[in-house]
Structure 1
Amino acid sequence: MHHLKHWAMAAALAAAMPATATATTATAAPEIVGYYPGWKSDAFPVTAANVGAGKLTMALYAFLDVCWDGRHGNPEPSVNYVAACQDAAGDAAPANGALVFRDAARDGANLRALVALKRQHPRFKVVVSVGGWDWSNRFSNVADSAPARASFVASAVKLMRRYGLDGVDIDWEYPTEAGVPCVAGAVCARPADKQNFILLARELRAAFDAAGKADRKHYSITIAAGGNANYVNEGAAGSGWIKQLSQSLDWINIMAYDYHMPWEKNSGHHAALAADAGDPVTASGFHAAGSVQRYLRAGVAADKLVLGVPFYGYGWKGCAPGANGDGQYQPCDGGATGGVDGGNSYGYSHLLKQGYLTAEGEGGQGYRRYWNDAAKAPYLYHAAQRVWISYEDAASIREKAGYIKAQGLRGAMFWELSNDGGHQLLDALSGAMRSR
């Protein structure tokens, strides 16, 4: 996600506890958290119709970055973006660690437009998300430096007050294990990252609590977190760090997707809810319910966990039909090219626009829709073109909503609003989460 999430498959994945664990008491109003992609605002502006604030409890504005030596961005060739810092809080010369905008005029206008939606929807919150896949390269430096942590915290408080925001979401991908490789001579990950993350979150919580007391409101702190064992554990030290971190957070948004990616040799579900014996990866706990159970076993409270749901899918090309004729778990020739911008990513809106899915949720244009009842996941296969697509639809979202409620989790998060097709997925999620 986001940018797109790539997780190195952990060598030893913890076995998942069964999805039928005893439920805890769910919160009265479950969180429904959606990312808004700020860089898409020309084609997908902040409007009441696009955002659907009445169906959300929170919009996460993606993404802000942090400043370092007067610059921000990531020089690594796959990102190849570095620019002068544009201070989000309005200061002239951002210090190391300060939150910064990519485009101060655009991002500021988008935030003001999102905050304006709160007038009609008082339960709706607007939070800035910092980092993401491309821009997580400076978090290790910031968290490792007391002055930079202080700058991050001070600029965050100032930003909240400047725009009337409700909190910060830290999307560090990933502590101790940078997703985007670091350029030569730079440091993007340290063994101390996870302990430093605890320090940063504690300092931010203390400042947000003090500011909230003065401002008579609550400022939230959330993170986007990996669903794999490498994230939850801290090497030989085990999983104690994530429970410590959670004590400073309102909740953790688990990125429970990208379990299979189109560079793999075989097709596979990228966001299966549960294990399927046909897929050895899910059998070893690499699926959404397995990720949730990993956090629960680590001691994180159920009401501090929000399950991530993807509003996009992936396509594989050259997939053999297999014995069942549906292309599932079959050898393929790599990522398909019929997705967004000729790539392998298939937003739900793209599937509808291309006619690969009908408005009724059935396959079109030669695609047939299938359902894996073990994984609780839909998929499409075009037998003539040998294209296989893993995606999320209303049926799989309802299954995940049921799991969230049964487990007593805090709610659901999704990536991202522009991928929805006329709010079909958000309507399914909102309806299922709010039903008894």
Structure 2
Amino acid sequence: AVYMMGYNLRGIWNHYTDVHSMLYRRPKLDITSNVAHMNVNEGAIFWVDYGCPRDKLVVGMTFHGKSYELSDAGNHELHAPIESGTTITYLELCKRMLEEPGWTEDYDDVGLCPFTYRGTEWIGYEDPNSLAIKTAYIRDMGFLGAMNWQIGHDDYQGECRQGTFPLMKTIYNGLQNYTV
């Protein structure tokens, strides 16, 4: 099997906000050569085009997000300039969104990933909805399955009002009874 990371495709090195695990290319955003093909779909197709059988390809998904400090709190769109960045687990993020008022939730409707912002903080991440889309994609494409990094980043104690392990359960449910 070939285990393809479908995450960390963007980061602080890009010098702007972005979701880091987009499923598809965004034609209006992903225009420079260093990021144009950096998305889950084109990475998977690359492997298939170079001889990897679809039933041997495992798509990696993550339970962490990329958190950025915006250069300007008024500019919170995709590709907004940043000052710094770090990684945040889904558990940390979902707890903060419940406990700290003022988060605005948004969605990359082409890359199919959520992001949220508050003040000068901007976070792109995966949630149960985006992972359900990715598991459906895996099934539709006839790929072997999914892997994740890492289970300890999920809400393992059910602190975010979604039950325990909402991300892992989404992947499990999406691929349950799936065979290639």
Please give the range of the TM-score, normalised by the shorter of the 2 chains.
0.7 to 0.9
Count of residue correspondences: 168
Query: Would you tell me which structure has more strand in proportion to its own residues?
Result: 2
Match of 2:134 among 400, 403, 423: 400
| Matched letter for residue 308 of structure 1 | G
1-side partners of 2:139 and 2:68: how far apart? 33
What residue is the counterpart of 2:166 in the other structure?
424
What residue is the counterpart of 1:316 in the other structure?
68
The answer to whether the aligner puts 1:266 opposite 2:8 as a matched pair is no
RMSD: 2.1
- The DSSP-based 3-state class of the residue aligned with 1:370 is strand
Higher relative contact order (CA 8 A, sep 6+): 2
Q: Which runs of 4+ in 1 moved over 4 A?
A: none
Residues 316 and 272 from structure 1, CA distance in 2 versus in 1: closer, same or farther, beyond 3 angstroms? same
Is the CA contact 2:70–2:76 (under 8 Å) kept in the aligned structure 1?
no
- Cα shift at 1:263: 3.6
Larger Rg: 1
Gaps of at least 5 residues in structure 2 are 156-163
Taking structure 1 as the reference length, the TM-score comes to 0.37
What residue is the counterpart of 1:434 in the other structure?
176
2-side partners of 1:301 and 1:321: how far apart? 46
Is the CA contact 2:70–2:80 (under 8 Å) kept in the aligned structure 1?
no
- Cα shift at 1:364: 5.1
Is the CA contact 2:106–2:116 (under 8 Å) kept in the aligned structure 1?
yes
2-side partners of 1:427 and 1:407: how far apart? 21
The answer to whether the aligner puts 1:306 opposite 2:55 as a matched pair is no
Taking structure 2 as the reference length, the TM-score comes to 0.85
Give the percent of matched residue pairs that are identical in Structure 1 and Structure 2.
24
What residue is the counterpart of 1:239 in the other structure?
none
The answer to whether the aligner puts 1:370 opposite 2:106 as a matched pair is yes
1:273-310 C-alpha deviation (Å, 9 max, x unpaired)? 11112322697221011100000000110010000001
What residue is the counterpart of 2:4 in the other structure?
254
- The DSSP-based 3-state class of the residue aligned with 2:70 is coil
- Cα shift at 1:334: 1.6
1-side partners of 2:12 and 2:102: how far apart? 21
2-side partners of 1:284 and 1:430: how far apart? 30
- Cα shift at 1:327: 3.0
1:231-285 C-alpha deviation (Å, 9 max, x unpaired)? xxxxxxxxxxxxxxxxxxxx11101111111243111111001111232269722
2-side partners of 1:415 and 1:370: how far apart? 23
